[in-house]
Amino acid sequence: MNLSFIQFTDMHVGSSVSFPGIVRQAGENLTSAINEINDSSFKPDFILATGDCTNAGGNDLLIYKQLIGRLNLPVYSIPSSHDLALRSLPGGGMILNDNPEQWEKNIGPARFAFVHNGVKLILFEPFKKMSETRGENDFDESAQAWLEAELAGDEKTPKFIGYHIPVLPAKGGYIGWRNADKFLNLIGKYNIIALISGHRHRNAEDKIGNNITQIQTGPLAGFQWTGLPPHYWFPVRAGYRMFRLEGNKIFSFYKEVGVKNQVNLEHIGRAHTQGPRPQVRPAVIHGDLTISTQAYSEESRIKKVEYSLKNDKWQPMVKYFDDVWSEWQADLALKKLNNGFDVIVVRSVNGNDEYAYDSVPVLIRKDPSDPESVVSGPETVFELITQPLEAEYLNDRLMGLFPWRSIPQ
């Protein structure tokens, strides 16, 4: 059972009343990604586009259709709020709609499922308009009936389920979806490899429902709405996600558009860093753990990947997956770490001796009473390696006051 595909999400091509320059750049990002994929040595079976393909629906659908027509492989796309919108508003808002008629006329089905190489791919988006400018996903009777029909009698076949808005745990429940419990209870009976989504313009990975992996992918548009004047936007690195399924193991890599050499420090223990930078979740380390890193080079194979704390000594990492990108890991023993602030830096070296770097800040707290070896810190913007005073952390029992600018949730 082998499968490879690419996920696009949050392309936002087309038009905007208030931000024409940003949306124009989004179109250029998609064009660059298309050229890159057509020329790449990674030959996926297809592309899944998980919503907000356009910025304002309508005529933007034709722009999107023309652009993806340049790809040398099948593209399966679903719509979400922006794709169904009637028009954009000043300030970045939308006049919303939840009728997929124009989408289906110009692009294709708004929800679909198919089997490829023994794996079932299911994409749908139960988006509902709550008012002219507000909407959310609603796993209502119609959505439930459609999904149940696609799942019925098929418990053993491995499946990917894709949608746009992720199901986010919050305060004992979930946000992003109405009736999320019904959705998770339904799919919990089946062999789900992973859930894939976009919407938040972030990379993330977590477990929801019956311990099912949900992978969130960053925006190909390359921006994140902050709601803060005067600029409103944060320049997230534009990219797309490459997936490889080998047997029952899934591997994925967030590829930044136009970057020829790249390394991502993706996991510190079970905590996902939201990398690559500059948007990350620092980690608070309480025990022994393993760090996981991914590396890519367009020029040649990756020779080695190393990590360092305080940039003073480079330690080797061990490769456990090798494809167009490779994946590496190393064990960190708590007894070898010092209490306080640190930065884990990783670097890759390719066959031409070219280096790529990534880094994530950490706070090390040796507390044997803590049952977790690592917890995620607050989401932050972190681009430069800094050495602030450890005293700024040691007196902070809430583990929340890292000295970098937090991104509004």
Interatomic CA distance for residues 254 and 223, integer angstroms:
15
* Residue 368 buriedness (CB in 10 A; 0-12 / 13-18 / 19+): exposed
First to last CA, the chain: 38
Q: How far is it, in rounded angstroms, from Cα 252 to Cα 255? A: 9
Cα 272 to chain centroid, rounded = 11
Q: With respect to CATH, is domain 261-394 assigned 2.60.40.650?
A: yes
User: Which residue is listed with tokens 């339904």?
Assistant: 186
CATH superfamily of domain region 2-256: Metallo-dependent phosphatases (3.60.21.10)
Rounded to whole angstroms, how far apart are CA atoms 345 and 365?
19
On whether the CB atoms of residues 221 and 29 are closer than 8 A, the answer is: yes
DSSP letter for 103, please. Answer: H
The reply to whether 261-394 shares the fold of 2-256 is no
Nearest to 385 by CA among 406, 360, 352, 407: 360
Could you list the beta-strand ranges (E) of 201-246: 204-208, 212-216, 224-225, 233-234, 239-246
Could you state, in order of their start, the residue ranges of all structural domains in the chain? 2-256, 261-394
pLDDT in tens, the chain (409 residues): 689 999 999 999 998 887 888 889 999 999 999 999 999 989 999 999 999 999 999 999 999 999 999 999 999 999 999 999 998 888 778 899 999 999 999 999 999 999 999 999 999 999 999 989 899 999 999 999 999 999 998 888 999 999 999 999 888 788 899 999 999 999 999 999 999 999 999 999 999 998 999 999 999 998 877 766 655 677 788 999 999 999 889 999 999 999 999 999 999 999 999 988 788 888 999 999 999 999 999 988 999 999 998 667 899 999 999 999 999 999 999 888 888 888 899 999 999 999 999 989 898 888 766 677 888 888 877 764 343 444 443 444 433 444 434 333 3
Answer yes or no: are the C-beta atoms of 305 and 320 closer than 8 Å: no
CA–chain centroid gap for 304, Å, is 25
Q: Are 53 and 83 in contact (CB under 8 A)?
A: yes
